[in-house]
Chain A
Amino acid sequence: MHATLCDLITDLVQNSIEAGASEINLKVEETQTNLNVVIADNGKGMSAELLKKAKDPFYSDGEKHKHRKVGLGLPFLFQTAEMTQGEASIESTENIGTMVRFRFDPEHIDLPIFGNFTSAAVTLMSYGFEGNLSIERSVNGETYTVSKNELTEALGDLNDLESLTLMKQFIETNEEEINKRPDGSNRSVQSV
């Protein structure tokens, strides 16, 4: 179902939004040998029982998709981890929040392509939800951070066409910067 790892990240952050989080932290770190991702939220969390079910590849709380009881976010994550000998974990406490982490080998032949982080970030930043989303992004040690609060402060309503366009440029140019190779050329930034 998921074409790219960025789609998976989008889905996992959407889970945090759906859990009513007011603060979401997303960290996406790429190095030569590792892809490290952490999604932490202060949403409604899960009871031990629910957490066990959520790890089950054939569970979705059934509130969203009336005709489909299988969630596509977490199962895809655990399946990918297994297929590529990566690591994935989820910790959650009811009424406190949830933290999902994974570490994949970027070179593994079965790993889906990374995808386009700019478009994932723009999607999540302009998602209609009240809370804040902070992103910490790094590629081979080069880093930038961006948060929904600071974007809103600079641009006003993030759903305005004008704001959306500027926000996309902002994230795109920061992505280009950290994806630059030492010789000045750009790492291929995949589209889609």
Chain B
Amino acid sequence: MAKMTLEELRNLRESKKKEMSQRDGNDKSAQIIIGMGTCGIAAGAKEAFDAFLDELNTREIMDTKITQTGCMGLCFSEPTVEVDVPGMPRVIYGNVDEKVARRIVKEHLIGKALVSDHIFDKPAADIIK
């Protein structure tokens, strides 16, 4: 692909926005927070991030926000990912590799069912301080 300019970036964003607003406007978006601390990265958090991006795009679940954060203090279960889907309990998943990331999109975001074998804890409040 040829090198993109900021101008092209702006235009692409504008046209995508129009496309979006023509679809049904879902009120609240889902949030995915990926722990990118030293151990998270060493354990494959970047691969998990790429898998989320790819799977969400493929399935066109555009109303999603992905944020990265530093150490979640949960080294032993890295990569850790927090998922907040409106109307569902906030969940922390542990050992999220590429496969699990794709499962979270399919089962949790689309199917509205928790990926129980990877739940680290719920709700999150008392763990993340």
Contacts and interface: CB of A to CB of B under 8 A. Distances in A.
Contacts of A73: 38
Chain A's interface size range is 35 or more
Interface residues of B, number: 38
B71 A64 contact: yes
Given A154-B10, A155-B13, A165-B57, A123 B68 contact: yes
Contacts of B10: 154-155
Contact of B62 (A156, A159, A162, A167): A162
Contacts of A144: 3
Given A7-B41, A155-B9, A166-B13, A14 B67 contact: no
Nearest to A177: B3
Contacts of A172: 1
B107 interface: no
Contacts, number: 111
A161 B66 contact: yes
A192 interface: yes
Interface in A65-98: 65-68, 72-73
Contacts of B3: 144, 173-174, 176-177
B65 A159 contact: yes
A138 interface: no
Interface of B: 1-4, 6, 9-10, 12-13, 16-17, 20, 36-39, 41-42, 46-47, 49-50, 53, 56-57, 61-71, 73, 75
29 contacts: A7-B41, A10-B36, A17-B70, A64-B73, A65-B75, A67-B75, A119-B50, A123-B46, A126-B66, A127-B68, A128-B69, A144-B3, A151-B9, A159-B65, A160-B65, A161-B53, A161-B62, A161-B63, A162-B20, A162-B62, A165-B53, A166-B9, A166-B12, A166-B13, A166-B16, A167-B9, A169-B1, A169-B4, A177-B3
